Amino acid sequence: MQGLLTDAFLTSLVFGAISAGIPLLLAGLGEQLSEKAGVLNIGIEGMMLAGAYVGFVAAFYSSSLWLGFAGGAAGGAAVALVMALLCVRHGLNQIVVGIALTLGVEGLTALLHHFQFGRTYPRLDAATSLPIPVLSELPILGPALFDRHPIVYGAIAMVAVMAFVYRRTNLGLDLQAAGDQPAALDVAGVDVVTTRTAAVIATGVMAGVGGAFMANIGAGLFIPFMTGGAGFIGIVLAMLARGRPLWVLAGALIFGACLSMTTALQVAGVNIPTDVIQMLPFAAVMAVLVIFGRRASLPAALGLPYVRGAR
Amino acid sequence: MSVETADTAPRGADGGRRGERSAALTRILLLSVAPILAALVIAGGILLALGVDPLAYYGFVLERGLFNGLGLQQTLTRMAPLLLLAASLIVAFRAGIWNLGIDGQFLLAAVAAGALAPALIGSLPGWLTLVLCFVAAAAVGALWSVVPALLRAYQGVNEIITTLMMTFLGVSFANVLVKLLFLDPGTTVPQTRTLPVADRLPRLLDTTVSSGLLIGLVAVIAVHLMMTKTAFGLKLRVVGANPRAAVHAGLPVAKLTVAVFAISAALAGLAGAVEILGVHGNVRADWNPAYGLAVVPLVFLARLNGFAAIAYVFAFSVLSIGGESAARRLGVPHFFTLVLMAIILILLAVVEYVDHKRRAAGKA
């Protein structure tokens, strides 16, 4: 275990934490947005997977990663649109529809993948990075943090954007009200259903880009069921962050580090069975919930459809 | 929380005239059958788009899962774990608890039964071994729900998330147990030691159908009666329908919540035992049939009614056995069944909504 703290190990750990953490970050920020607006988005796992599949297909046929991300956003948004239509507009049970969407996307993407790529399992070329001058020269952190694909910087910048929206804009207040006191928002002349619909679709876009990141940058290929619970971890991050985007980032990096332990430990020559390592992030989630469970908070009207005039 | 419970509760309570009853029955049949037919059509469109003849596919599935004698017996055997899982979910959902962790509870209990049975069979009589395995499986299942149960009961932490997390954790943990702890040294395949066929659950008469089917049927009916006819069931339903009112009524909500988790997870554990003791005889590494999330839609479709659940579990088993066969012969992966279930579930929600609207409009 002495060789554990070498530069190579630390670099691969931080590098992996970012690679695994970015999809979680995007999912967590997206879920946070939905939950703020009062929609418990259980379908986010399906949105991520749809983003991963559509994103991969788009990137594969266009050989452009950017079109891949656009495709991922579209894929996530398409699933979100169904969710918004059924749950926000018509007030169907958010949990039932969320489960159904996740199951459906899992089945559909696996099915399509089987017919399209089932024999070939094509890979994308490794993503080209955009090194930030000076910073990327830093030891250990440089290559892991500042020599990455621009979407990594973009995702981290989203934290600041979301924080700004929540704190400083009317839109942020509207979102908050849609989740806590939808009736008050309605009285103030803002359409609750529209606000929530917009929030859910924005969630789909973020989750979709997160999924596309997993497929196109993380793995370089699409594998059925590849999101493996990342969307659900995103839900936990949103629950624990209590509305604060920065906390989502912190959580995403911690869980990302857990997820990337396998490769980092292999680099260090430590051989722990992958099944044990795969338990790490989920064990961490449960530990965090046991310790901070009471403090996890969710908006008052979460999960309840808003019907004007109904009580 | 669960819209369906509110819908099922008053039924039968008013007795009503015969005409009203049969009209209500027709309505329920229509509400249940229409989404399925529509889903078959939509899913058929997907097959068509993939270049597969939907009629040939459905025909093949029916032939293999229902009309073929051996297939039908496989279908009936498949029903056993699904019925126990349905019973597990009916308890939980009627009590307003979203136990979405049944796959983890199922899998770990399966490992417990798979590890215990071959070890005990040498020194104990066969029936006692099976009984002990069932007890152990139920205990392991319940144990895997303790953390979500306590978090929900005493900290108010949303159980959807915690149970899902425990499932992800449980799937990996089951692999760890199989590969590191209970590995059969006698084979190169990573799996637990195998229970000889003669010592497994007895088969029904001279068929290949596992007697697990009877266990499943008894469990679903018992759970249905418990929830609808007993005082304990009524208490659970009150907690599910309105926890705040339950507190005011003096019910020990936290304890009842823990009890619901324990019963639900123990039933999921029994499902794992039935599958191992009745069908496989051992647990292979990376084995995870993920029956749980497939049963969720079925239970909703049945509107949390035990008898209806039996019918839907049967239909799903036909689909699932036939679909597995079709995967080998027609090259349509069994993921298709997943898509079909999702479409059915969404259409069910839509039909329920439309019906609710229509009735609300009728009353006004």
Q: Which of A92, A110, A279 sits opposite B353 (nearest CB)?
A: A92
**A131 three-class SS:** strand
Site from A102, A279, A288 to mutate, B interface, most B CB atoms within 10 angstroms: A279
Angle at B128 between CA B124 and CA B134, to 5 degrees: 125
Residue A301 lies in a domain: no
Measured CA to CA, the distance from residue B265 to residue B271 in angstroms comes to 10
**A55 three-class SS:** helix
Spans of all domains in chain B: 3-363
Measured CA to CA, the distance from residue B174 to residue B140 in angstroms comes to 12
| pLDDT, tens digit, 9 for 90 and up, residues B106-127 | 999 999 999 998 888 888 888 8
Residues 170-229 of B with CB under 8 A from A: 172-173, 175-176, 179-180
Q: Dig out the tokens for A47 from the structure.
A: 């949105």
How much is the pLDDT for B125? 85
Q: Which residues of B touch A240 (CB under 8 A)?
A: none
Residue A122 lies in a domain: no
Measured CA to CA, the distance from residue A279 to residue A158 in angstroms comes to 29
Containing A147, the helix (H) or strand (E) segment is strand A147-148
What is the torsional sign of CA B175, B177, B179, B185?
Answer: negative
How much is the pLDDT for B5? 40
| pLDDT, tens digit, 9 for 90 and up, residues B26-37 | 877 777 788 888
Contact B235, B103 (CB under 8 A): no
Residue A131 lies in a domain: no
Residue A18 lies in a domain: yes
Closest CA to A68 of A213, A201, A200, A207: A213
Q: How far is A12 from chain B (nearest CA, A)?
A: 24
CATH at A201:
1.10.3470
Residue A266 lies in a domain: yes
Per-residue pLDDT of chain A (311 residues), as tens digits, is 445 567 777 777 888 888 889 999 999 999 999 988 888 888 999 999 999 999 999 999 988 889 999 999 999 999 999 999 888 888 888 888 888 899 899 999 998 998 888 777 788 777 777 777 767 677 666 676 777 888 888 899 999 999 999 988 988 888 888 888 888 888 888 888 899 999 999 999 999 999 999 999 888 889 888 888 889 889 888 888 878 899 999 989 988 888 787 667 766 677 777 788 778 878 888 888 888 776 666 555 666 677 666 54
Residue A130 backbone phi and psi in degrees, to 5: -120, 95
Contact: B349, A100; criterion CB under 8 Å: yes
- CATH entry 1.10.890 includes domain B3-363: no
Residues 249-278 of A with CB under 8 A from B: 273, 275-276, 278
Measured CA to CA, the distance from residue A144 to residue A17 in angstroms comes to 9
The number of folded domains in chain A is 1
DSSP secondary structure string for all residues of A218-267: IISS--TTTTTTHHHHHHHHHHHHTT-HHHHHHHHHHHHHHHHHHHHHHH
Q: Between these two residues, A186 and B207, which has the higher pLDDT value?
A: A186
Containing B215, the helix (H) or strand (E) segment is helix B212-229
Q: Which residues pair with A147 in a beta bridge?
A: A131
Which residues form the domain of A215?
2-116+137-295
Contact: B172, A114; criterion CB under 8 Å: no
Residue A86 lies in a domain: yes
| pLDDT, tens digit, 9 for 90 and up, residues B325-355 | 888 888 888 888 889 888 988 888 788 788 8
Exposure pattern of B172-202 as b/e (b: 16+ CB <10 Å)? Answer: bbbbbbbbeebbbeeeeeebbbbbeeebbbe
Measured CA to CA, the distance from residue A33 to residue A176 in angstroms comes to 9
B335 close contact with A: CB closer than 8 A: yes
Q: Dig out the tokens for A253 from the structure.
A: 């990096």
